[in-house]
Amino acid sequence: MEFTERYVALGDSFTEGLGDTDPQLPNQVRGWADRTAEQLAAAHPGESFGYANLAIRGKKMKQILTEQVDTAAAMKPTLVTIYAGINDILRPKVDIDAMLAGYSAGIAKLTAAGARVLVFTGFDASTSKVFAGIRGRTAVYNELLREVAEVRGAEIVDYWRFREYNDWRLWGVDRMHMSTPGHINMANRVLEKLGETARIPLPELPAIPVRTTAETLKDNAAWTREYVGPWIGRRLRGVSSGDNLAARWPELHTPVVPG
């Protein structure tokens, strides 16, 4: 089928949709990119709209550039969203300047293919006791990304400045990926950036529970055991949670809201 509008989403777990669980869908997740595509298709019913999502959890910048960018460019996209680099920043050592030089070349391929390209700054994790330590790295990454976007003609979705994500109800139980409300909010942010009027209603957030110090310590211990430990273990073994996964939507298709 020939699509007149073609949206391709690239990246890692952020774009794959982790935290927004849907057992009906590939990899059992939905995510902001799916939700954005659904709204774009619904908002332009007279056009032939195609959507692909090549993002896979755990992917680092070089993998995204080598495994996803050329595939996306070959689809002749009219719109690309790409989020990459945060998995690199989380490693003990990273050359952010070299990483962004590669990113710049990848973005250039996408704009040369005729796509409108949206890139994301990294989130300001200053309120996280675990991830606040990468705030400086993320700030450097963001500043270099702003320069790359200006040079390459890409547009910034400024996640760093989305202060609503300081509300931990927008995050999933693993405290690393957005919850379903967080993904819906991100979809609305992207729709706003695209100049679309459509918005997805946000579900009512649950009340913030009052926890005693003992309960908080117990919660933190369970979280460390269930999520942080396995995450560190994968890093030590040199493996990724996405090693045996394929892209959720590897080919352009017409997005449909799940039943």
DSSP state of 123: P
Chain centroid to Cα 147, Å, comes to: 20
Residue 255, classed as helix, strand or coil, is: coil
Residues ≥6 apart with Cβ < 8 Å to 251: 52
Phi and psi at residue 18, in whole multiples of 5°? Answer: -55, 140
pTM for the predicted model, two decimal places: 0.91
Give pLDDT, residue 220: 67
Spatial distance between the Cα atoms of 109 and 105, rounded to a whole number of angstroms: 7
Instruction: Calculate the alpha carbon distances from 29 to 144, 189, 256, 258 in Å.
Output: 31, 19, 14, 11
Mean pLDDT of the chain: 91
pLDDT tens per residue, range 151-178:
999 999 999 999 999 998 999 888 789 9
- Return the higher-pLDDT residue of 172 and 60: 60
Give pLDDT, residue 211: 75
Which domains, and CATH codes, for the chain?
Answer: 5-203+248-253 (3.40.50.1110)
- Return the higher-pLDDT residue of 227 and 75: 75
The three-point CA angle 64-67-71 to 5° equals 110
Q: Is the pLDDT of residue 216 over 70?
A: no
The three-point CA angle 123-250-108 to 5° equals 55
pLDDT tens per residue, range 98-132:
999 999 999 999 999 999 999 999 999 888 877 78
